Structure 1
Amino acid sequence: MTLSDAAAWPREAGLASEALAQLDRPIEPVPVAPLYRLGLAVVAVLMVVLPLVYVGLIGLVGYLLYQHIAYDTVVFEEVKSARAAFVLYVAPIVVGGLLLLFMVKPLFARRARPPALLALDPASQPLLFEFVNRLCAAVGAPRPREINVDCEVNASASLRRGLWSLIGNDLRLTIGLPLAAGLTLRQFVGVLAHEFGHFAQGSALRLTYIIRAVNAWLARVVYERDAWDERLAAWSQEGGWITLVLWVARAFIWITRRNLWCLMWVGHLVSCFMLRQMEFDADRYEARVAGSGNFAQTCRRLPVLGVGAQNAFVDLDTAWREGRLCDDLPALMLANANQLTAEQLERIEQMVSQTRTGFFDTHPADADRIASAAAENAAGIFTADGPATALFRDFAGLCKSATAHHYRKVVGVEVSDEQLVPTRQVVEGVNRVWKHVRRSQRNPQGGRVHKEMPIHLSNVQLICPACGAATRTGARIEPDGGKVRFCKKCKAAIGRIAPPKAKQAKNA
């Protein structure tokens, strides 16, 4: 993977045809246990029952409010003070009405629209679409109707139009470009096979959509606050007898949300087990396509890219204060991942091997997933290797488009083209390294200190188009007097830095 301003590298000859040819035969089908299907259906039914419980609570509150309005008028006859009788009759109506309003509101509140996705055109990425179609055939999964890209270290399979796509195979594949930048071709294909494993699960994918939708809705009811909540809080501070009534209303609303919080966690707990089983099943697809050993390598590589992404956003925060942003976010993430020290990589490895799956985890721990894939003992049908970027046409240009889309549509930052600078400039401007410093009056202790230092392009690992290895680059003078960048592993020239001396003299 080259940085944004590096010269575009040609695709390795024969890699595309070799990769496509290896997907001509299907994998052995992954059976789904009937008990698993039954359990998933039971969980889905339970997740539908939980909102019905909520609707039942609304009906109960409405019924009690009606009973008070219709039959508690006797308070005006039994209480001598007209003001006290008025308060005793009206206060429950105010409290019950507000409680009913705040309970009904989430049923009709519109969800915030997700940011628009960057969809790929099959005509602009023919190899990727052909590869995806063949991989779907090998896995036995329906083809996605839409392929999107973003700047997340993730890939996902989803229903393209949500609820309206429950019937039919209206599916969407979203590819995180940092995965293509930081994984080998075989690792990347394994990740895609995992997502197509979800496609192949069919009914399980649709039931999962229902489970996740209900979980998300319950979370919105419990945690989401809006202008109504702020207005009620402001009114309860104004004083007078109504203040006490509003505080009572807020207390009842809080109690109701606590009850829903319990329902939310019950639903989350019962659904998490089935969601983890779905991930294990999809992992088996990945192992049968790319191999069990490759699966373990991918599981160890993804957290490294994740840390690189976190560090990249720290770099972006520093750069944005200077009024600039990098033009290739996946490249910045990869550069940060490749700068991790041996100590940091060791900590990530310990995290992968020592983390255990919790009751409320929707995904199994990496160690459990690696063990499950190892039990498959699959060699995999796909063994071609090289840069995953070979599947894309003009990968650097696509990354720049996705980066600009991320800033403007996802983050909501109005960034101009002039503020987008080559990623190398951002890397050089915010790179921090450990330096050994002698003792002095300014630094009496001496030792290791953290300093900002520029990093040169030659210190960033790139994928060589000639040998396909992740390697560093160097610079050398060619016989014609020109200067080129070369791969330090195979010595092949991969980009010209300065023109030949004859052209330099002519231009002078």
Structure 2
Amino acid sequence: MTQAVPAGSFQVTLTGRRLSPVTDADLLQRLREQFGLSADQAVQLLVGPLIVRQSLEVKFAAKVASAFRACGMEALVEPMAGAGMEPAPVPAAAHTELPAAAAPSAVQAATPLAALAALASQAPPASRLDLDRERQIRRGGLMVAAVRGAYVVLVLAVAAAWALSLLRNVLALADVSLLSTLYSLLVPGLGGLALIGLLLWPLLAPRKAVPGRLALDPAQEAEFFRGLSGLCTALGVPEPGEVIIDGDSGVGIKPQPDGRVRLRLGLALLASLPSREVVGLVAQQLALQAGGRGLLRVLEVQRWLQQRAYDTDLWDEALARRQERADSGAGRTLGRVLVAGLGVGRLLMAGFYRLSLRLGAKALRIASHEADRRAALLVGSRLFPLMLRNQRAVEQAADEVRALASSPAANPGRQLPEDLFEAIASQFRAIDAANLSAIDAELENEHQEFSPGLPPWGERIARVRQQQAPPVYASSLPARLLLEQCELYCLKLSRDWYEREGIAAPAAAASAAQPGLTPAMRAAREMQRETLERYFNGQFRPWPLLQAVPPPDSDITGLGWQGTIDTLRRRSPEMTQDWVAAAEWERRRAPLLLAAGLAMKPSHFGVSGYDHLAQAHLWQLLEQVRRRDTDAHHRLAEDLKLHAFRIDCAIRALMDQERLQAEFLRSLLQRLHEMEGDAAMLGELQRSVLALQTIAADGEHPDAQKDLNEALRLFRGHATRLLNTGHSAAQTVLEGGTVSGYLLLRCPLAGPERMTDAARYLQDASGMVDAFQDLYQAALGELVSLCERAERACAIQPIRRIDPLSLGL
């Protein structure tokens, strides 16, 4: 039985999605007119998801939500946390069949894998496939299977007609000459054999092995397979017989001869998305099995026809090689004839494939809606459009990263990523709101089909929204934590891709693999990063480093603790721009150094807008960036004073033991801030050396080798100074005991006493910058966790929360 929601226990949540195309200016104007808000108050409502009202009666909550919808914003009426698992009253058909009592165990589990395994306690949802729908799916499966049978029958019919034609010619050759006999038998005989061979080619040709795939070992990924079993139990479908991962950004199932399915999971999704979105995409695919054997037959036959219509096989490749090596014109002509014949055969197979899409469309539509419903019961109706949008965004990011990596010569100042999937995740996080809105608009189109044979996403999203199902699995930790050896898989598939593309893979960085990290430790690291994103309202950037001690003469002290947080919330858009602009200057340091040192244009190294500057002025600009003396750095420094004062207020409110711990972390961050100059120089020089090595090897510039030697010398000097300074900086956040102790654990061959040449030392110390950043983020993550605890204890409203009374609602 479901639990009733007490009166006055509903909340209104803005999802951040817009119901119709509208500009920010128009939307802000509507909000101000509808609710009588100031400009600053209206801007705060554009960041979603966001809870704007709580503890409301359901009728009043519906009125508030309706007012937001009238402005063009999607607003949901939901039960408050702890008030019950059912949403606002909806038709009985939309209620979840999953027991509410079991949901907290899945939601509150410590790690994504634990939450996934906890789904095993869920009772599977009741099927909505009645006898009529099941009959339609079976009928669709039979009709699609008949399409493949029709092609086989066509081949047999052609073979029979050829045999009968030869037999008739033989019987008709009673008193004719030998030449006539040969002509009557050989011409139709060889022609018929060629036609039959072309028709049999798609049936008999061996398929190529798909590169870039790894089959997961249940012994090595036991926790993942246990969680997958729990997911299948909650969906009410069989477990997959095999799980493979590849470098794509999709999820799919493929029927196997034993009646089970093979699950394919794109590693780009695991590296980029949170667990709940990846689990939702996987659930959506696995739940297709609810359509039974008839649906699996549709999928299997359509995939079979698609491969033979559009994919190349081993015989195609052998034919292409023979045609390239053909010495005579006759050989090349024969090859062209065979290719043309195969093209006609593939057109015929493509026609059969399109026919199968039409015949199986009804079965796929029914099964897709049932699969969407079951997936939404697990991850929630609100997450459904978001996970689809983000999947397409990851696909776009993957295309961009691979395009850049495929042309390393066009980007001499850019280091090829050793882990392509981490680069894809970074590119995905950098996608702007305009691109995401464009993807949303495509998905909302109820007439645009993205997958052959499947109903449009707009139609499917609309049906899922009607469910208003709350989430059962809600882990927001990164999906890469679902796999024990995700980092190793990423590196292996990255190297495989570089090898297939014929690109020299970048050297392995010392920081790329961190052996000895258990899933729980990796989860803790990821939770700290999530804490930073939450605490800094999504503004956090690795560079420049935060100075955690506020200046004593600052006028911010008059704002007070809550006033400082309110100011941070109000200034969030400007602060985000300032931090991004300052971080962009950090990226430009290496290109500016290359341009100034080689007397070349900065645009040659990927930095536009400064080609008009003389060499001396480029050096001056670079020195300004190194000193943090640009306008962006000055604005950011003023912004970060607010965060420093916020941290100071929280530390003073902590109890004695926690205050001592926070003071130690703040002093450590201050020491790291003092060492930032050397660490940032290491990053600048390391990126510059990669470009200089390419330029020197190609002989493009006479001074490249000299500048390369100088850069290597400077790199060693800054690394030595960083390690010498870090020996006196104690830290207990990570291993090593001191800052230098941890850096040397990550780069054990980078000790200053190493008597190696400068080039080898750069290779040994290549992971030092990443290690420095890891230590900084770990210390900052622990500190802000304590600060958040203090804010909750003192009833300080967090930065993301908006006071409903201040909105005039």
Fold match (TM-score > 0.5): yes
- Determine which of 380, 384, 389 is the counterpart of 1:300: 389
Q: How does 1:321-360 map to 2 (within 5 A)?
A: 325-354=416-445, 356-358=447-449
TM score, norm. by length of structure 2: 0.46
Residue 207 of structure 1, CA deviation:
1.9
1:172 matches 2:268: no
Partner in structure 2 of residue 467 of structure 1? none
Larger relative contact order (C-alpha < 8 A, sep ≥ 6)? Answer: 1
1:94 matches 2:284: no
- Determine which of 482, 485, 488 is the counterpart of 2:672: 482
Residue 289 of structure 1, CA deviation:
0.3
Whole-angstrom distance in 1 between the partners of 2:111 and 2:209: 40
Partner in structure 1 of residue 309 of structure 2? 219
Partner in structure 1 of residue 130 of structure 2? 33
Whole-angstrom distance in 2 between the partners of 1:222 and 1:112: 8
Residue 437 of structure 1, CA deviation:
4.2
Alpha carbon RMSD of aligned pairs, Å? 4.9
1:279 matches 2:279: no
- Determine which of 178, 191, 198 is the counterpart of 2:288: 198
Q: How does 1:100-499 map to 2 (within 5 A)?
A: 100-115=196-211, 117-159=213-255, 162-163=256-257, 165-166=258-259, 170-204=260-294, 206-216=296-306, 218-219=308-309, 225=316, 227=318, 238=330, 258-319=347-408, 325-354=416-445, 356-358=447-449, 361-393=452-484, 395-407=486-498, 411=500, 418=507, 437=609, 478=668, 481-483=671-673
Whole-angstrom distance in 1 between the partners of 2:161 and 2:338: 15
Q: Residue 75 of structure 1 contacts residue 89 of structure 1 at CA under 8 Å; is this kept in 2?
A: no
Whole-angstrom distance in 2 between the partners of 1:263 and 1:358: 20
Whole-angstrom distance in 1 between the partners of 2:740 and 2:398: 44
Partner in structure 2 of residue 493 of structure 1? none
Residue 438 of structure 1, CA deviation:
8.9
Residue 91 of structure 1, CA deviation:
2.2
Whole-angstrom distance in 2 between the partners of 1:249 and 1:154: 35
Q: Deviations over 1:287-332 (max 9, x none)?
A: 0001100112112211111111110111220238879853212211
Q: Residue 498 of structure 2 contacts residue 505 of structure 2 at CA under 8 Å; is this kept in 1?
A: no
Q: Residue 136 of structure 1 contacts residue 196 of structure 1 at CA under 8 Å; is this kept in 2?
A: yes
Residue 261 of structure 1, CA deviation:
4.1
Q: Residue 151 of structure 1 contacts residue 402 of structure 1 at CA under 8 Å; is this kept in 2?
A: yes
Whole-angstrom distance in 1 between the partners of 2:322 and 2:291: 46
Q: Residue 236 of structure 1 contacts residue 246 of structure 1 at CA under 8 Å; is this kept in 2?
A: no
Residue 482 of structure 1, CA deviation:
3.1
Q: Deviations over 1:245-268 (max 9, x none)?
A: 999999887766655443332123
1:47 matches 2:144: yes
Whole-angstrom distance in 1 between the partners of 2:388 and 2:298: 23
Q: Deviations over 1:104-130 (max 9, x none)?
A: 333322222334742334454444333
Question: Bigger CA drift: 128-137 or 111-120?
Answer: 111-120
Q: Residue 151 of structure 1 contacts residue 178 of structure 1 at CA under 8 Å; is this kept in 2?
A: yes
Q: Which runs of 5+ in 1 are unaligned?
A: 1-11, 442-475, 487-496
Secondary structure of the 2:390 match is helix
Whole-angstrom distance in 2 between the partners of 1:151 and 1:251: 33
Q: How does 1:68-87 map to 2 (within 5 A)?
A: 68-72=165-169, 86-87=182-183
Structure 1 residues 138 and 270: CA distance shift in structure 2, 3 A: same
Residue 51 of structure 1, CA deviation:
3.4
Q: Deviations over 1:140-166 (max 9, x none)?
A: 22333443332221222334xx32x22
Structure 1 residues 143 and 107: CA distance shift in structure 2, 3 A: closer
Partner in structure 1 of residue 598 of structure 2? none
1:59 matches 2:150: no
Secondary structure of the 1:292 match is coil
Whole-angstrom distance in 2 between the partners of 1:414 and 1:183: 28
The code of the aligned residue for 1:105 comes to W
Whole-angstrom distance in 1 between the partners of 2:216 and 2:340: 50
- Percent identical among aligned pairs is 19
Residue 63 of structure 1, CA deviation:
3.3
- Give the number of the structure whose residues are more often strand, by fraction: 1
Partner in structure 1 of residue 726 of structure 2? 500
TM score, norm. by length of structure 1: 0.69
Greater Rg, structure 1 or structure 2?
2
- Give the number of the structure whose residues are more often helix, by fraction: 2
Q: Residue 181 of structure 1 contacts residue 388 of structure 1 at CA under 8 Å; is this kept in 2?
A: yes
Secondary structure of the 1:156 match is strand
Residue 197 of structure 1, CA deviation:
1.2
Structure 1 residues 360 and 271: CA distance shift in structure 2, 3 A: farther
Whole-angstrom distance in 2 between the partners of 1:434 and 1:341: 20
Partner in structure 2 of residue 444 of structure 1? none
Secondary structure of the 2:455 match is coil
Q: Residue 23 of structure 1 contacts residue 134 of structure 1 at CA under 8 Å; is this kept in 2?
A: yes
